[in-house]
Structures are given as structure tokens and as C-alpha cells.
Amino acid sequence: MPVEVRMAELFDAEFNLSDHPLDEKGLAGAVSDSDVLVPTLGDRISAKVISAGGNRLRLIANFGVGIDHIDLESARARGIIVTNTPGALTEDTADLAMTLVLSIARRFSEGEAMLRRGEWKGWAPTDLLGRSLTGKALGVVGMGRIGQALARRARACGLSIHYHNRGRLPEPVEKSLDARYWPKLDDMMPKIDILSINCPATPETHHLIEERRLSLMKGDAFLINTARGDIVDQDALIAALERGTIAGAGMDVYVGEPHVDARLLKLGNVRLLPHMGSATLETRTAMGEKVITNITALARGEDPPDRC
């Protein structure tokens, strides 16, 4: 990637060229003689890895926005700064979330799969009937950058916007999205046709969507998760999908990635993508640029701009 070339020019950098996460031993080895570690979301930055950094490690400059794979408390306790890449992947991730909304509601993937199997018999009045988006209600859980970018796309498709967030958006933002705020998530659940998870994974949002909340959803509603698998109780979601108490789900994230629960693979009413919300050349380059900016700031003795 061009950004790796740039990093090699700027810093005394060592790369994991395999494109796959390192295990704990590999990470501990990598930090043992580094000032800065640049992990991706697949690298588990445990207390053990952090302590292997000794007194030298000063910055964990995450290549990505979610930081739930980093033991923040251990980093803080050792005075290590953690940064991420906010903003860089907003639009692409919102594109992917909107794609999942469209794909699950309109059954596009099912249509293509049928055609590829050679089973298409021609246009038919009742074949592959999906659900219209126009006039339906989208509920966004976590109305940050990505949630808002999704809301903009959804409005263009005729959906009304509802949201639940830790805090209410400033009035002009809420107005520009024509969005209705629900202080209580439980109150929003029965009112919406599509629920999109766009909040970060934290101890507070772990299993935010569990069996009881799923049971509050309409029977023909869809759930979209492009944030983190742990926010939804995956077993409860699978049970709801198997029983048909919700109509379907679109997922880009899973519990225990890259493992995908075999029960999900068997279900017809789910669209499954391999955590690829930010997977474009432009966005991965922009993420790398943010990492470089954060490292450069530290090297200059300044506060890195994307400190978490």
C-alpha cells in the first residue's frame, strides 16, 4: 500500500507483511523494541502485549476507528497514548450499511444467486418479492459520524429517521436529518422497520440488543450490524431469525471474527459480509494518513490529534 511506503520513508518502520493479525507472542515481540505500535482490529492488544512494550512504547496508533481490541486501562496505566482514525471511514462504512439495508429488504443477493444457479425462469409476478424502503422507518443506534452518514443515505431512499444515542444531537443536525430522538431504546424498538447498529463496542453497549429487546421489534423488521458483533447477543439474534420473529439481518461484523457461526451460514434471511466496511483503496489510504499524522505529532512533542 502507498501508505506503507510513506511510513517506511518517514519512520524506522517494521511491517507485518502477511496482511493477517499477529498472535500475542508476535505482538509482544513487535512492541518490545518499538516506540509506536500500529495495530489493526484483528490484533488483540492485551495487558500482556502492552507490558511487553516496557518503558519504550509510547503510542498505540490504531489503524481503524474501533478500539475495543485494545486494553485501554492497561495503556492508560502505563501512560501510553492510544489514537484511532475517526472520520476516514465514515462514508464507505455508511455505503456498506445502506447496501445491507437494500440487499436484505430487496433480496438482491438471492436474485443473483438464483440466476447464477440457472434457475431463473423469467419475470414472474410474485417471484423474489422483497419489501419497499420508501415510507419505512430506520432506527439508528449510535448517531455518530457513521450513523449520520447512513441516515443521509436512508433519507434519499425514502426512509424516515429515528435514533437512540447517549445524548441528543444538536438541533440543527437533528433538523437537517429530520431525525426523531428516542431517549429510551426500548420505546424506539417497536416503531421501526430497520434497526441499524452504529455505536462503538464498550462495556456499556455489550449485548445492548439482546433477547428481550429483539422481542420488541416488529415481526417484519430487519437488523443491520456494521459496528461490532458483541453489541448484539448473536445467539439471541440467531434464535429470532430461526423462529422468524424478525424478518432478517444484514451483518458485516460477528462475535469471534473471523469465525462465523455455522447457524448464520444456514439461514436464508441474512446477508453476510466479511467485515469490509472500510475496504476501499481511498479509505485505507486515508486511515494510514491519519496514523502517520498521529505518529508525527508525537514525534514532534505535540498531542496526537486523534487521541481516544
From the list 59-67, 101-109, 127-135, 299-307, the region that binds ligand GLV by CB under 6 A is 59-67
| Residues with Cβ within 8 Å of residue 201, at least 6 apart in sequence | 66, 68, 227, 228, 230, 231
Q: In the complex with ligand GLV, which residue's Cβ is closer, 142 or 159?
A: 142
Query: Least distance in Å: CB of 235 to ligand GLV?
Result: 22
Binder among 65, 201, 251, 291 for ligand GLV (CB under 6 A): 65
Q: Are 138 and 196 in contact (CB under 8 A)?
A: yes
Beta bridge partners of 37: 60
Residues in 18-47 at the binding interface with ligand GLV, rule: CB under 6 A: 41
From the list 63-71, 72-80, 128-136, 174-182, the region that binds ligand GLV by CB under 6 A is 63-71
Q: In the complex with ligand GLV, which residue's Cβ is closer, 260 or 299?
A: 260
Binder among 7, 49, 60, 64 for ligand GLV (CB under 6 A): 64
225 is a contact residue toward ligand GLV (CB under 6 A): no
Residue among 275, 282, 300, 302 flagged as catalytic: 275
Rounded Cα–Cα distance for residues 102 and 95 (Å): 10
Query: Least distance in Å: CB of 92 to ligand GLV?
Result: 10
Residue with cell 417484519: 220
Rounded Cα–Cα distance for residues 95 and 93 (Å): 5
Q: Which x/- pattern over 228-267 shows residues binding ligand GLV (rule: CB under 6 A)?
A: ----------------------------------------
The number of beta carbons lying within 10 Å of the beta carbon of residue 111 is 15
**Site for ligand GLV (CB under 6 A): how many residues?**
7
Note if 257 is an active site residue: yes
Q: Are 61 and 38 in contact (CB under 8 A)?
A: yes
66 is a contact residue toward ligand GLV (CB under 6 A): yes
The closest of 238, 230, 246, 233 to 263, measured between CA atoms, is 238
Q: Which x/- pattern over 86-125 shows residues binding ligand GLV (rule: CB under 6 A)?
A: ---x------------------------------------
Note if 152 is an active site residue: no
Rounded Cα–Cα distance for residues 181 and 165 (Å): 8
Q: ∠ CA(145), CA(250), CA(99), 5° rounding?
A: 60
Phi/psi of residue 44, nearest 5 degrees: -80, 110
Residue among 110, 174, 211, 257 flagged as catalytic: 257
Residues counted in the chain:
308
The grid cell for 161 is 429517521
278 is a contact residue toward ligand GLV (CB under 6 A): yes
Interface ranges with ligand GLV (CB under 6 A)? 41, 64-66, 89, 277-278
Catalytic residue list? 228, 257, 275
